[in-house]
Structure 1
Amino acid sequence: MINKKIFKDKYFWIISSLIVVITFFHYSNLMAEWEIHIFYRKLYYIPIILSSFRYRLKGGLISSIIVSILYAPHLSIFRTGISITLLNQYLEIALFLTIGFITGKLVELDYEKQKSLENKVIEITKLQNYTKNIVDSINSGVLSTDPNFIITSINKEVEKIFGEKDLEGVNITRILKDKNIIDILNQAKIQKIHFSDIKTEIKVGDEEKYLALTISPLFNILDKVQGLVIIIQDKSREKYLEAQTVRTDRLVAIGELASGIAHEIRNPMGIIKTISQTLKEEKGDKDLVEGLEIIIKEVDRANKVIDGLLNFARPIENEMKEISLSELLKEVVLITDKYLSKQNISMELNINEDTNIIADKEKLKQVFINIIFNGVQSMSSGGTITINTEIIDNGVNISFIDTGIGIKKENLEKIFNPFFTTKEKGVGLGLSVSHRIIQDHNGYITIDSTESKGTQIDIYLPMS
């Protein structure tokens, strides 16, 4: 069955035209000199070779057979018995067929080799893509370097860790500047040693990251080192959780100590207040009465601190119920709205998706209001507090973002410690108690702050 596509190929018409034109000259100039016909006969090789190159073996054979058939009548016209000329003509037909076969066969073999090469290239490309997909799917950064520590390949996790995409062609010492790491890279290359769990810190923008590296020499087929393979694990989250654990242990110890101290102090403070009130009622001396009033006020203030200590050390049992987070946040906004308006502060509440959580509503309300008031106190000239919610990892993240003065970097680690405060009249128990409440809800609280730009407090709570 003839392929219809061939009729759309311009080379088919060129080859056909050449055969027709050459044949026409042969038969239209029968009386011409024999040398002219020899010339025309030689021209037949052009379409045969063209057909072989274009259509390979099939094209070479078909075109040579067609040429032979078209040329055959010419033999009978000029046949004058057996002669060298006649033998040359028969030999020419044999050459048509031979040239068509040989040229077509060679082109066919070349085509098959090219096709085989293309298939191998496709297979290699597929294998490379498959390998890259595997490496990109690994939850660790994987990169390779040449002997000069120039990065030759990376996976997506490396881009994510370092916050850059175009790292190929970059010297690794540009992103890993720790001198100890550079020494280890040289040792791995020169001594062919494998290193694992190498700790280092890097800074990506304003964020500090803690990394664990596994460094191995990369060998070629001659067992010579042609570079390094480095596996990078971002341990920032584990580092944070470790700090959370240490902080929790410290808070528990402080809480137990605070509880004991609070009980020991409360009794004598109660006695002092009782005696002061009795003396105030009995004595009429104005100066003495004023002094006794000061003592009573200070005792009351001290009692508030003691109550805070006791709440921190042994909080009241939570009344856990299923509640709507969006309704709780709307209540908090309603409660704080007038206070914020007086301070020239606007509030934005963005609830991504309503969700229910198991929680003590009043305790969470206490936490949220405390965080909002802290934000207000950091914005003496007005500003904005934004509350965002987002569902992540089978839980919900509530972000409180203010545009205040921010927190100094050296204070961020101390912010949850009891009695740590940067306020003149602050006690320093608000965030400690808030941390304890969120922890009792199986959640966690984090703070990120930049001086003069503002603070973001994130609270993660599991969904019901």
Structure 2
Amino acid sequence: MIDTILNQKMLEILDNISEGCCFLNSKMEVEFINKAGEALLEKPKEEVMYKYQWDVLPKYKETIIYELYNKAYREQTVQCFETVTEYSKIPMEIKVFPNKYGIFLLFNDITKRKKDEEKQRYYDQLKIIAEMAAGVAHEVRNPMTTIKGFLQLMENNEELDKYKDIFQLMIDEVNRVNEIITNFLDLSKEKPNKVEYCNLNDIITTIVPLLETRAIREGKYIKLELGKIPKLNVDKNEIRQLLINLVNNSLDAMSKGQSVRIISLVEHNNVILSIQDEGAGIPSDIFDKISVPFVTSKESGTGLGLSICFSIAKRNNAEISYSSSSNGTTFNICFFN
């Protein structure tokens, strides 16, 4: 009687845990599956109970899962592995615990963990690049400043007036090098310079007139849709830079008569800044790489603007997500509380 009660309580506990679990007997028939397991398999209990596992999930026959399940039972050894499901294409971690009666399975959706690992790898790579650049930045800047100074002297020399356009071109290129160095130094930062509580809407309304000057000149429009939002503890100057970079990218992508919308709102207690344009969209060949330094679709771009935006977001406890199609691109920056 006590054993029966204990078994019932154990089954109740297993049925309500967040990880998927099930038990397959020695014939690989399903004798138990919990609620989370049903959800992850996307099959109701009635379709799997007391059925042969490989009849229920035929796509797994002759796969690594099939081999490891059988190996676990045959050799009575625990197996733990990661795989992408054949049906829903979800990354899963599966643990197989055997005994003489069959195998007990624990399986868990690790989509978030994989995304977090990928994100951390990206930031680790970015940090290495930024640290290398920061290490040589000052050594490069000093001679570049000297070169620029002499070019400006030569540009103002009347005897060299016929070379004025060449000198200006060279000065522009020196300025471009300095801009790239400055961007690299921005990438190398690990935390904001000056954090303070401020309202994102105030930052937006302050910077929009500057952005509108360019938009009006090009026959494009900037539309504000600012909601009621709480103050954020951020670096005001960095958020300005992020906003300028993203809106300028949107203006670059759009044609005359098109609009970019700047939206602020609260969603799930987090403040969202959304930049939505009507441009041609991000080319598919670089869609997954836009946060990587030097990746750009612009002929004259450095490919550092969006990398800096992603770094700024991370330093200010925010995360950037984006979507794109031929009808436009949306960048959402979520500031976490």
Normalising by structure 1, report the TM-score.
0.57
Q: CA deviation at 1:279?
A: 2.2
1:461 aligns with 2:335: yes
Match of 1:229 in 2: 104
CA distance in 1, matches of 2:59, 2:191: 50
Q: Is the 8 A contact 1:350 1:388 kept in 2?
A: yes
Alpha-carbon distance change, 365 to 289 in structure 1, aligned in 2, over 3 angstroms: closer
Match of 1:216 in 2: 97
CA distance in 2, matches of 1:435, 1:343: 29
Counterpart code for 1:200: T
Q: CA deviation at 1:182?
A: 2.0
Which of 138, 152, 158 pairs up with 1:263? 138
Which of 10, 17, 20 pairs up with 1:141? 20
Counterpart code for 2:91: Y
Alpha-carbon distance change, 234 to 323 in structure 1, aligned in 2, over 3 angstroms: same
CA distance in 1, matches of 2:320, 2:193: 22
1:238 aligns with 2:113: yes
Equivalent pairs, count:
323
Q: Which has the higher contact order (CA 8 A, sep 6+)?
A: 2
Alpha-carbon distance change, 373 to 209 in structure 1, aligned in 2, over 3 angstroms: farther
Q: CA deviation at 1:317?
A: 5.3
Match of 2:47 in 1: 169
CA distance in 2, matches of 1:131, 1:445: 40
Q: String of CA shifts for 1:166-211, please: whole Å, max 9, x gaps.
A: 4752656457689212211222344444323x11124777xx6432
Q: CA deviation at 1:357?
A: 1.9
* 3-state SS in 2 of match to 1:199: strand
* 3-state SS in 2 of match to 1:445: strand
Q: String of CA shifts for 1:54-76, please: whole Å, max 9, x gaps.
A: xxxxxxxxxxxxxxxxxxxxxxx
Q: CA deviation at 1:378?
A: 4.1
CA distance in 1, matches of 2:328, 2:61: 30
Greater radius of gyration (CA) = 1
Alpha-carbon distance change, 266 to 331 in structure 1, aligned in 2, over 3 angstroms: closer
* 3-state SS in 2 of match to 1:265: helix
Counterpart code for 1:139: S
Q: String of CA shifts for 1:8-40, please: whole Å, max 9, x gaps.
A: xxxxxxxxxxxxxxxxxxxxxxxxxxxxxxxxx
Consecutive unaligned residues of structure 2, counting only runs of 5 or more, are 49-54
Consecutive unaligned residues of structure 1, counting only runs of 5 or more, are 1-122
Which of 294, 299, 311 pairs up with 2:186? 311
User: Within 5 Å, which residues of 2 pair with 1:433-448?
Assistant: 433-441=308-316, 443-448=317-322
Bigger fraction of residues in helix: 1
Normalising by structure 2, report the TM-score.
0.74
When the two chains are superposed, the root-mean-square deviation of aligned CA atoms in Å is 4.1
Q: String of CA shifts for 1:407-463, please: whole Å, max 9, x gaps.
A: 536652x4333323222111122122222222222x242435466476554434332
Which of 247, 265, 279 pairs up with 1:372? 247
Q: CA deviation at 1:214?
A: 0.9
Alpha-carbon distance change, 339 to 231 in structure 1, aligned in 2, over 3 angstroms: farther
1:195 aligns with 2:79: yes
User: Within 5 Å, which residues of 2 pair with 1:373-452?
Assistant: 373-380=248-255, 382=258, 385=261, 387=263, 389-392=265-268, 395-400=270-275, 404-408=280-284, 412=288, 414-441=289-316, 443-449=317-323, 452=326
User: Within 5 Å, which residues of 2 pair with 1:25-424?
Assistant: 131=11, 134-135=13-14, 137-145=16-24, 154-158=33-37, 161=40, 164=42, 166=44, 169=47, 171=55, 173=57, 179-196=63-80, 198-202=81-85, 209-217=90-98, 224-225=101-102, 228-314=103-189, 318-328=193-203, 336=211, 347=223, 349=225, 351=227, 354-380=229-255, 382=258, 385=261, 387=263, 389-392=265-268, 395-400=270-275, 404-408=280-284, 412=288, 414-424=289-299
* 3-state SS in 1 of match to 2:159: coil
Alpha-carbon distance change, 216 to 401 in structure 1, aligned in 2, over 3 angstroms: farther
CA distance in 1, matches of 2:265, 2:59: 34
